[in-house]
Chains A and B, each alone.
Chain A
Amino acid sequence: MLKLEDINFSYEKQKILHKINFHLKENEFIGIIGPNGSGKSTLLKNISKLLSPDSGYIYLDKGLLNEYSYKELARKMAVVPQDTEINFNFSVYDLVMMGRNPYQDRWGRVTETDKNKVEEALELTDTKKFKDKSIQKLSGGERQRVIIARAIVQEPELLLLDEPTASLDINYQRNIFDLISDLNDELEMSVLAVSHDLNLISQYCERLILLSNGNIHTMGKVEEVITKENISEVYNTEVDIKYNPMTERPYVIIVPRKKNSQKRRENNFKVHLICGGGTGKDIMNILNDLNIKVSCGVLNRGDSDWEEAKRLNYEVVEIPPFAPIDENAVEKNKKRIGNSDLIIVSNTPFGWGNIDNIEVLTSLEKKDILFMTKQDVKVRDFTEGKTTELFEKIKKNNNVHEINNNKELCSFINNNYKEILYD
């Protein structure tokens, strides 16, 4: 669809783009990211023929970009620019109709096809309700949708977007990107979008190009590009990478300088976590962020907590799916518990199948134990009161703290183990 070969570009002797090479396949969705001044917008302007490269070739389909007339180009490629503010009082309908310009003759006669295409685009972008309104009276998000509608009626094969959600609220951000994603899926448009919002674009595109000082730093699948090393290096800032379990895409979080100055230290602090059924996931992530070694058990294979623990490379005492805890597992678990500095019991229900995970704690003395008690243990006790009894016994012999939520958990650990965890 679009192929760039050795594109170089400079503004008055200052080199902006160096040897850019990439290939956008048909129906692909590529995102371009990079810090301010890395050349993202300049690259897009070269592709949309607003600027022409000093050297190198840009191919659109089989032809060279330069050989397309403006009109031919407008039928193949539509651009949604960064600045969509319009200072003249055109109605939404008229503005969208302007997208039919490349199909109209000199005198701008409007055909039935033109009208139908405009109606379709208004519906697709949900802008029909204000088609007679002046474009100046719309909000930023509404205006952006109108501009996208105008791009749709151009019936392009390739859609270029320059920061399509800059300065929009998150509801509009999602709305716009969902729409772009639909155009990519349903109308089979190829999409090339520039965005400085790493997290937003990473949730939608198939491949990413990371630009740094006019060079392609990394190009590839989202998870290959959004890595701690790449982002920290290119953006020159400390970040952490998390995974969005719903889209299975990575996202970047910023580590504020204040927290950053309290450097997390390599430590030997060990926590054993008793959990199950997904009640331990958040706890694992918090502990992971604090660089704490964690063991879990006993967990059934396939349990969502087991999956998360495996993903984080934790030691897990495991048993087959749906099997009750056996002697062997109890012994192993006991060993892990004995080695740990802190034991956390998640807000999981207890039945005859997993009561051994609690029973094992009754033999302990003067250990630090945290009970996550978002729900009272009586509610979670499916062993006719036995679990509640065991809880009382454990409380008598050990330093037990009851914790209500994740925030309390964070502050408890930060307050009590500060010396061990931080420099």
Chain B
Amino acid sequence: METKFSYFYTTMIIIAVLILVGIISLSFGSVNLSPFQVLKIIFSNNNINESLNIIIKQIRLPRIILSFLVGSGLSMAGVVFQGVIRNPMVDPYIVGISAGAGTGVTLAIVLNLQFSFLFFNTLPLMAFIGSLITVYIVYNLAKTKNKVPVVTFLLAGVAVGFVLNALMSFLMVIGTRDLQKIIYWLLGSLAAASWHDIKLMLPYFILGNFIIIFFLKDLNLILLGETHAQHLGVNVEKSKKYLIIGASLITASVVSVSGSIGFIGLIVPHIARLLVGPDHKKLYPTAAILGGIFLIISDDLARIVLSPMEIPVGIITALTGGPYFIYLLRKTKKEIW
């Protein structure tokens, strides 16, 4: 492949970057620590300072792990959606799937449907149902004669997204007693991240990944075009269905703990593709790690920029992702119109 570095070195480098970013992120905040102190606290059981121990292990560590999971989840979902739709302009946020998941969560809060069964909490489950219904509607709205043109897909996604956002506002109005809870969640913030959140989302996150990895090879062939894929022995409709379900599960798990954070699923797959090429067996893990790094850094910025006040991380990602989306639109204008 005509990428500058071999896949192995690229992976090694980004894993190293991830560890570095993780440690540095752990070390600053209201109490600044050196990276060495951080490591000492994490790897020792009998701790010197109880409050530092709590800051690192109960506040900062879950937040960074959750940032990583959310960032990588959105990027992985982005890779899958871009592959299935065969266009780099798609991500879960743009095509309204995040909004669908959000509606599901809002509904769960308003109707007070939150409980757990085994490892599976209803909050991500409602998010999943919401996102799946949205994908189904958007996909079928966009479909014309067995094809899903990108323009109609984007338009359908935006339109459905609007409707769902209105629905969410409506639910907030009628469910006034939960207003604060919903708004706080909707802002797309990782500020309240806890181990509980991670437990909440992880089963769905893992299940989604299992499904996607099982069909990942087909995604390469679908990328060539659906007829090519079918001629090469892929049951295209089936693979697409499961890939979309897997990506929706991941999106739902992420959205249910972080609210909707936009544009990561758009930018990161693109950067990953530049690094390792279009082969999904390499692209998928690379995008996952890069997405994690990207959101950890974005969240750091959200904490630092107006310190001590925090801004929602969604603002940071939108500020970097929006212009990138416009750049992509202009670059591919000719092909699209």
Q: A48-B231, A88-B223, A102-B233 are in contact. List 17 more A-B contacts (CB 8 A).
A: A70-B233, A70-B235, A72-B233, A79-B227, A81-B227, A81-B228, A89-B2, A89-B273, A89-B277, A90-B279, A94-B1, A94-B279, A98-B232, A101-B232, A101-B234, A106-B217, A108-B217
Q: A2 near B: Cβ within 8 Å?
A: no
Tell me if A88 and B278 are in contact (CB < 8 A).
Answer: yes
Q: A25 near B: Cβ within 8 Å?
A: no
Tell me if B220 and A98 are in contact (CB < 8 A).
Answer: yes
Contact with A along B212-239 (1 / 0, CB 8 A): 0010010011011101101111110000
One of A49, A91, A102 near B2 (C-beta < 8 A): A91
Name 9 interchain pairs, CB-CB below 8 A, sorted by A.
A70-B233, A70-B234, A75-B233, A83-B225, A86-B225, A89-B1, A98-B232, A101-B221, A132-B1
Cα distance A87–B233 in the bound complex, in angstroms: 20
Cα distance A261–B86 in the bound complex, in angstroms: 52
Give residues 231-289 of B contacting A (CB, 8 Å).
231-235, 273, 277-279, 281
A87 to chain B: which residues have CB within 8 Å? 86
A78 to chain B: which residues have CB within 8 Å? 231
One of A86, A106, A134, A154 near B224 (C-beta < 8 A): A86
Tell me if A49 and B233 are in contact (CB < 8 A).
Answer: no
Q: With A88-B278, A90-B279 as given contacts, are A49 and B230 in contact (CB-CB < 8 Å)?
A: yes
B223 to chain A: which residues have CB within 8 Å? 88
Give residues 112-149 of B contacting A (CB, 8 Å).
none
The 10 closest A-B pairs by CB, nearest first: A74-B233, A102-B233, A108-B217, A71-B233, A79-B231, A88-B278, A101-B232, A70-B235, A70-B233, A88-B223
B273 to chain A: which residues have CB within 8 Å? 89
Cα distance A277–B279 in the bound complex, in angstroms: 64
List B residues at the A interface (Cβ < 8 Å): 1-2, 86, 214, 217, 220-221, 223-225, 227-228, 230-235, 273, 277-279, 281
> Smallest CB-CB separation from B3: which chain A residue?
A89
Q: A276 near B: Cβ within 8 Å?
A: no
Contact with B along A370-384 (1 / 0, CB 8 A): 000000000000000
Cα distance A83–B225 in the bound complex, in angstroms: 10
> Smallest CB-CB separation from A81: which chain B residue?
B227
Chain A interface residue number, banded: 35 or more
Q: A290 near B: Cβ within 8 Å?
A: no
Q: A39 near B: Cβ within 8 Å?
A: no
Q: A73 near B: Cβ within 8 Å?
A: yes
Tell me if B234 and A90 are in contact (CB < 8 A).
Answer: no
Tell me if A50 and B227 are in contact (CB < 8 A).
Answer: yes
Give residues 224-266 of A contacting B (CB, 8 Å).
none
> Smallest CB-CB separation from A49: which chain B residue?
B230
Cα distance A132–B279 in the bound complex, in angstroms: 14
Q: Taking each of B223, B233, B277, which has the highest tally of chain A beta carbons within 10 Å of its own beta carbon?
A: B233
Give residues 382-397 of A contacting B (CB, 8 Å).
none
Tell me if B217 and A107 are in contact (CB < 8 A).
Answer: yes
A150 to chain B: which residues have CB within 8 Å? 232
Cα distance A48–B230 in the bound complex, in angstroms: 9
- Nearest chain A CB to B169's CB is how many angstroms away? 39
Tell me if A74 and B232 are in contact (CB < 8 A).
Answer: yes
Q: A416 near B: Cβ within 8 Å?
A: no
> Smallest CB-CB separation from B87: which chain A residue?
A87
B1 to chain A: which residues have CB within 8 Å? 89, 91, 94, 132
A89 to chain B: which residues have CB within 8 Å? 1-2, 273, 277-278
B233 to chain A: which residues have CB within 8 Å? 70-75, 101-102
Cα distance A86–B86 in the bound complex, in angstroms: 11
